[in-house]
Structure 1
Amino acid sequence: MSPTPLSVLDLSPVPDGATIADALRNTIDLARRTEEFGYHRYWLAEHHLATGVASSAPAVLIGQVAAATSTIRVGSGAVQVGHRTALAVVEEFGTLDALYPGRIDLGLGRSGQRRAEAAAELAAPAAPAPAGARVVDGLLIPPPFSFAALVGSPRFALASALLHQPGAQPPAFADQLADILALLRGDYRDGDGLDAHAVPGEGAALQVWLLGSSGGESAQLAGALGLPFAANYHVSPATVLEAVAAYRAAFRPSAARARPYVLVSADVVVAATHAEARRLAAPYGPWVRSIRGGGGAIPFPSPAQAAAEPWTDADRDLVADRVDTQFVGAPDTVAERLRVLRDATGADELLVTTITHDHADRVASYELLAKEWLQ
């Protein structure tokens, strides 16, 4: 029996003391190396206005990664379509498919739409306190984290202003998705019956994915349209089970897939020993704190910097769900925790994201995991 495929999610992290150019060169190198190690696909995330993350233009990076590799699938995890038009997305990824046919994944996520929903959540009456952590089939499911408080950050408002044209409102995600699929098929019509044809883009052999963190619209649309679905354990571990359940409940066979296909993400750090892995993972808490504090991801600290960071109970509470669900340890330990995640979610594929301060440690983490998992 073949092992469950492993894939890579890369944010192009910027280590403290390094440059954006260093981070982008590291991404190209990691893509080459993980292709050698046997990983199935390589996805680039989309983040904006964060000094510690260089993946603000995933389509550009996808082209660079595809050019530097030859067999691994390359794609977006995910394009934030609330900031873009359907035509722009199709043309960009159609161009990539024309250059690297049969290797490009178009992962789509709700972003501008989620910002509006978070604002509404902030204005709503306070919800009851969430239930505590639980363990389901060996998998830790922590209490949910509310992102609504981040909406009050001035930087959140600034990001929203810079990502949209003045006065623009993100369209409904379902409508944008319908337009993207129609442009790819070549049967797009507007309300007056006028046709439009994306060049490049129409007829592109892209794998279209939806990414989601809950059992809401993304999961349900992915199922209803018969698309593959990526569920987010590494950012929203509290809701991963409801996300995959909603997707499977909504699934209808399509030309893309006869059966549901679920990819689940996990944040991991692997080293030769558990102690070394814990040392390398120590900066993760302060890094997540920078994001959830509303300032955006800082350059990834070194273990020594993390050890010197002041740390309070409030800091611990802010990042507990992320830190507690990061898989850290020797190869056999992390592989066993990934098997628990796979079995609890029924995942067909796992998407691994690893951030360490030193690039060599990140490459080694992926190599050690691949040797343990794919042997």
Structure 2
Amino acid sequence: MTAYALLDLVPVVQGGTVSQALANAADLARHAEQFGFSRYWVAEHHGMEGIASAATAVVIAHVGAATSTIRVGAGGIMLPNHSPLQVAEQFGTLDALFPGRIDLGLGRAPGSDQRVAHAIRRSLESDSNAFPQDVLELQSYFADDGKTGIVATPGAGAHVKLWILGSSLFGAQLAAMLGLPYAFASHFAPGLMDEAADTYRRGFRPSAVLDKPHLMLGFNVFAADSDEEAEYLATSQQQAFVAIRTGRGIKLPPPVRGYRERLGAQGEAMLGQVLSASAIGSPETVSRQLAAFIERTGADELMLTSAMFDHDARKKSLTIAAEAMRGL
């Protein structure tokens, strides 16, 4: 059976608060644990009023304390924003708190725009280019192999599972070279998915942590009792995508009936492309679309994600998705 995981951006809904979003995250993680999800990840984003996971390690600790068995982690930490030593200390601390449950996905984007990246006081171009070396430095701290001359405390000897993230061929090549699992962001940038998957699989070199490629693909799921209801619930995420693509992040809005029909040809084409790795519909429809995606891509694991305005509707959607995955 293909494993299935959950990516939660910890959405702040219109009229809601960050406190509510964080409470929902813990509740959603408990729900995912109950329904067989392999892992629960949050992602580092900055300067976005609709996403409450900027302090990613803190949110992971919050979720880890609310759960008992599910793996929890970052999908991901944007390494150009941090020193590898600080990341080793943070995730070494998480591993000490939740032994054997911590994942650390690493990305080379800033998780923000140029203005916010400057506020973080990191040089975007130089740090992105230094990403492979930073990954190796981080591995050295966890391995406590003495190469850096510094012992990360906490961090040295921590059993943190590293992943490389990406939406281009760069991450695929690096993950293959280092023999690490690879997660591709097909849930919002599916354009290079097939090429990246092929690049990763063909170039993979076995390592001490992984003897064969492990590919996880992002996939949106919006499930409900009927196709019509699912299409309606999905419009919250669609509105948020359109807002981001037009340069303005927003809090997650309530769903709107007939939203896509009113977008026009250009907006409809944009959504069709960005959400092409998606299942929207009834349990039968979602099961069929998940099966087709897995058959086409051969993914080892799916990172399911969706943002819905109504928390209970989102939990129900994930229940339907989990049942569909188990049925496959």
Alignment pair present for 1:28 and 2:26: yes
Is the contact made by 1:286 and 1:306 (CA closer than 8 Å) also made in structure 2?
Answer: no
Alignment pair present for 1:215 and 2:189: no
Deviating more after overlay: 332-341 vs 100-109? 332-341
Is the contact made by 1:284 and 1:323 (CA closer than 8 Å) also made in structure 2?
Answer: no
Is the contact made by 2:80 and 2:122 (CA closer than 8 Å) also made in structure 1?
Answer: no
Q: Kindly report which structure 2 residues correspond to 1:5-154, keeping only aligned pairs within 5 A, or say none.
A: 5-112=3-110
Q: Structure 2: how far apart are the matches of 1:363 and 1:7?
A: 14
The residue number in structure 1 matching 2:141 is 183
Q: 1:285 aligns with which of 238, 248, 257?
A: 238
Could you list the runs of 5+ residues in structure 1 that have no partner in the other structure?
116-154
Q: 1:276 aligns with which of 199, 204, 229?
A: 229
The residue number in structure 2 matching 1:158 is 115
Amino acid at match of 1:104: I
Question: How far 1:88 sits from its partner (Å)?
Answer: 0.6
Cα-to-partner distance string for 1:96-124 (whole Å, 9 max, x where unaligned): 00111000001111114xx9xxxxxxxxx
Question: How far 1:163 sits from its partner (Å)?
Answer: 2.1
Is the contact made by 1:47 and 1:55 (CA closer than 8 Å) also made in structure 2?
Answer: yes
Cα distance change of structure 1 residues 20 and 306 upon mapping to structure 2, 3 Å threshold: farther
Q: Structure 1: how far apart are the matches of 2:66 and 2:32?
A: 12
The residue number in structure 1 matching 2:217 is 264
Amino acid at match of 1:108: L
The residue number in structure 2 matching 1:362 is 314
Q: Structure 2: how far apart are the matches of 1:167 and 1:12?
A: 25
Cα distance change of structure 1 residues 279 and 210 upon mapping to structure 2, 3 Å threshold: same
Is the contact made by 1:283 and 1:306 (CA closer than 8 Å) also made in structure 2?
Answer: no
Cα distance change of structure 1 residues 165 and 236 upon mapping to structure 2, 3 Å threshold: closer
Q: Structure 1: how far apart are the matches of 2:271 and 2:324?
A: 29
Amino acid at match of 2:114: A
CA RMSD of aligned residues (A): 2.1
Cα-to-partner distance string for 1:29-68 (whole Å, 9 max, x where unaligned): 0001111111110011111111111111111111111111
Question: How far 1:307 sits from its partner (Å)?
Answer: 4.3
Cα-to-partner distance string for 1:254-299 (whole Å, 9 max, x where unaligned): 1101111111110110001111101111222221011111222x11
Question: How far 1:189 sits from its partner (Å)?
Answer: 2.8
Question: How far 1:319 sits from its partner (Å)?
Answer: 3.0
Is the contact made by 1:77 and 1:108 (CA closer than 8 Å) also made in structure 2?
Answer: yes
Question: How far 1:324 sits from its partner (Å)?
Answer: 4.0
3-state SS, counterpart of residue 264 of structure 1? strand
Question: How far 1:308 sits from its partner (Å)?
Answer: 11
Q: Structure 1: how far apart are the matches of 2:5 and 2:47?
A: 26
Alignment pair present for 1:227 and 2:184: no
Q: Structure 2: how far apart are the matches of 1:344 and 1:325?
A: 11
Alignment pair present for 1:237 and 2:190: yes
Identity %: 39
Is the contact made by 2:84 and 2:134 (CA closer than 8 Å) also made in structure 1?
Answer: yes
Q: Structure 2: how far apart are the matches of 1:62 and 1:258?
A: 28
The residue number in structure 1 matching 2:288 is 336
The residue number in structure 2 matching 1:135 is none
Is the contact made by 1:215 and 1:245 (CA closer than 8 Å) also made in structure 2?
Answer: no
Amino acid at match of 1:282: T
3-state SS, counterpart of residue 169 of structure 2? coil
3-state SS, counterpart of residue 303 of structure 1? coil
TM-score, normalising length from structure 2? 0.94
Amino acid at match of 2:324: E
Q: Structure 2: how far apart are the matches of 1:84 and 1:266?
A: 28
Cα distance change of structure 1 residues 365 and 189 upon mapping to structure 2, 3 Å threshold: same
Could you list the runs of 5+ residues in structure 2 that have no partner in the other structure?
none
Question: How far 1:220 sits from its partner (Å)?
Answer: 0.9
3-state SS, counterpart of residue 218 of structure 2? strand
Q: Kindly report which structure 2 residues correspond to 1:299-318, keeping only aligned pairs within 5 A, or say none.
A: 299-304=251-256, 307=259, 311-318=263-270
Cα-to-partner distance string for 1:92-149 (whole Å, 9 max, x where unaligned): 000000111000001111114xx9xxxxxxxxxxxxxxxxxxxxxxxxxxxxxxxxxx
Q: Structure 2: how far apart are the matches of 1:335 and 1:162?
A: 44
Is the contact made by 1:28 and 1:68 (CA closer than 8 Å) also made in structure 2?
Answer: yes
TM-score, normalising length from structure 1? 0.82
Cα distance change of structure 1 residues 336 and 306 upon mapping to structure 2, 3 Å threshold: closer
Alignment pair present for 1:326 and 2:278: yes
Q: Structure 1: how far apart are the matches of 2:176 and 2:285?
A: 33
3-state SS, counterpart of residue 18 of structure 1? coil
